[in-house]
Chain A
């Protein structure tokens, strides 16, 4: 395993005194997650647009993203190595970006498809052109599904980045590989708990943002109950 010069190393067999190690890798983990999910979302939008406009491409898109998801992470890292380099974290981020597509494309498309037909007809009747209708009518109304997809993609990415540990990288995953090799159980536990806390916090943040962005959804639910 490569030792990064600036990366702090776990000291001893206890948690005390190692908080800076946890923090260092948690921040790295956070950075990778944000980049991967944002990049995945930016990629997924045009793909979803395509799938909605040309329904025939949807099964193909689902199939391809599914196959990408099935490619073992390690293989993706190595495949991208020659282009992105073996000694940095770009392959991990790119692999995670690709993995998010299978969740994001599907959720965006299904969210858009759930927009009621009369609403679309009304938009057409008001003279909206296809792209404007997509951006100002379909996307906002699809937000609940999109937010659900983002939450799922974020949580899975947080959990998946750890596989970078097998090439000596990958944020909190480092604590797993290091704890495994040096037989420090506490370090593995710390990585596990920190990963879950990070996922929980990000999940809650997106959930809260989603609620703020879709006030109508709340109102409707309140009315029904």
Chain B
């Protein structure tokens, strides 16, 4: 408990925030890497997820590939890419993008899947083309789950971005790694608290985003469908 108090003290000391080795810069790096990695993962994962969900093809392949994909060890990717491209941001970005792709793909598929069949039929019956049905009906209806996937990915990315410290690329991880060596447990606790705080803040931002992006009609019936459709057949979609 004392260590936590010391950690908070370290965090709230103004001097620790400034300079090249300061907390402010580390937080900025942490968020920047996380943001870039999550965006890149979205650019890869959303089209794949939408395509699988819309066409219904490749579902089995996707489930298995993402399963194996998750097994890729982050530290392994970081060290390997570091050997290849040292002193660039690539080791961290590559590892984080790999981490963020599976939850977005799976949740996007589940989101499109969760659109009731009669709603889809209605869209077709009104003469919408496949493309129109996807953007005007399936995506808005699947939005809660699609966002849940991105949120889950962002969570994991922020919690994992500390590995950058392992290869000296900044982020809050730097404090944690160097503190292990110097046994400065107050710094370690403080930096960890900061990481948790970042995760929670981003979580809160996603809650706001959810309010803004999910249409009112969908929101009203979300909770139940969330439970029913989201979990049973592909319970695996709810990544940590």
Residue of A nearest to B4 (CB): A79
Fill in one digit per residue for A71-115: 1 if any B CB lies within 8 Å of its CB, else 0: 110110011000000000000000000010011001100110110
Give the segment of B16-24, B46-54, B136-144, B188-196 that binds chain A.
B188-196
Instruction: Give A2 to B238 CA distance when docked, in angstroms.
Output: 37
Fill in one digit per residue for B197-240: 1 if any A CB lies within 8 Å of its CB, else 0: 00110010000000000000000000000011011111110111
Instruction: Report whether A72 and B71 are in contact in the complex, using a CB–CB cutoff of 8 Å.
Output: no
Instruction: For B196, list chain A residues within 8 Å (CB).
Output: 67, 70-71
Instruction: Give A163 to B165 CA distance when docked, in angstroms.
Output: 12
Give the segment of A14-22, A119-127, A175-183 that binds chain B.
A175-183
Instruction: For B189, list chain A residues within 8 Å (CB).
Output: 75
- Which residues between 131 and 167 of chain B lie within 8 Å of chain A, taking CB atoms? 155, 158-159, 162-163, 166-167
For this complex, 19 residue pairs linking A to B, each with C-beta atoms less than 8 Å apart, are: A66-B240, A70-B155, A75-B192, A103-B239, A106-B238, A111-B235, A114-B228, A114-B231, A144-B235, A145-B232, A145-B235, A156-B240, A159-B70, A189-B80, A192-B80, A196-B72, A199-B71, A203-B67, A203-B68
Contact of A191 with B73 at beta-carbon distance under 8 Å, contacts A110-B238, A152-B239 already known: yes
Give the A-binding residues of B (Cβ under 8 A): 3, 67-68, 70-77, 79-80, 82-83, 155, 158-159, 162-163, 166-167, 173, 176-177, 180, 185, 188-189, 191-192, 195-196, 199-200, 203, 227-228, 230-236, 238-240
Instruction: For B82, list chain A residues within 8 Å (CB).
Output: 180
- Which residues between 187 and 211 of chain A lie within 8 Å of chain B, taking CB atoms? 188-189, 191-192, 195-196, 198-200, 203
14 new A-B pairs (CB below 8 Å) besides A163-B163, A180-B82? A72-B192, A113-B227, A144-B235, A148-B234, A152-B235, A156-B70, A162-B74, A165-B75, A188-B79, A191-B73, A192-B72, A192-B73, A196-B71, A199-B70
Name B's interface SS. Answer: helix
Instruction: Report whether A152 and B227 are in contact in the complex, using a CB–CB cutoff of 8 Å.
Output: no
Contact of A103 with B73 at beta-carbon distance under 8 Å, contacts A70-B196, A78-B185 already known: no
| Chain B min CB distance to A145 (Å) | 4
| Chain A min CB distance to B231 (Å) | 4
Instruction: Report whether B240 and A185 are in contact in the complex, using a CB–CB cutoff of 8 Å.
Output: no
| Chain A min CB distance to B180 (Å) | 6
Instruction: For B166, list chain A residues within 8 Å (CB).
Output: 166
Instruction: Report whether A114 and B74 are in contact in the complex, using a CB–CB cutoff of 8 Å.
Output: no
Instruction: Report whether B162 and A195 are in contact in the complex, using a CB–CB cutoff of 8 Å.
Output: no
Instruction: For B83, list chain A residues within 8 Å (CB).
Output: 179-180, 183, 185, 188
Instruction: Report whether A149 and B73 are in contact in the complex, using a CB–CB cutoff of 8 Å.
Output: no
Instruction: Report whether B76 and A192 are in contact in the complex, using a CB–CB cutoff of 8 Å.
Output: yes
Instruction: Report whether B231 and A111 are in contact in the complex, using a CB–CB cutoff of 8 Å.
Output: yes
Residue of B nearest to A158 (CB): B71
Instruction: Report whether A70 and B158 are in contact in the complex, using a CB–CB cutoff of 8 Å.
Output: yes
Instruction: For A70, list chain B residues within 8 Å (CB).
Output: 155, 158-159, 195-196, 199-200
Q: Is A128 an interface residue (CB 8 A)?
A: no
Instruction: Report whether A167 and B240 are in contact in the complex, using a CB–CB cutoff of 8 Å.
Output: no
Which of B70, B75, B195, B235 meets A107, CB within 8 Å? Answer: B235
Instruction: Give A192 to B77 CA distance when docked, in angstroms.
Output: 8
Instruction: Give A136 to B176 CA distance when docked, in angstroms.
Output: 46
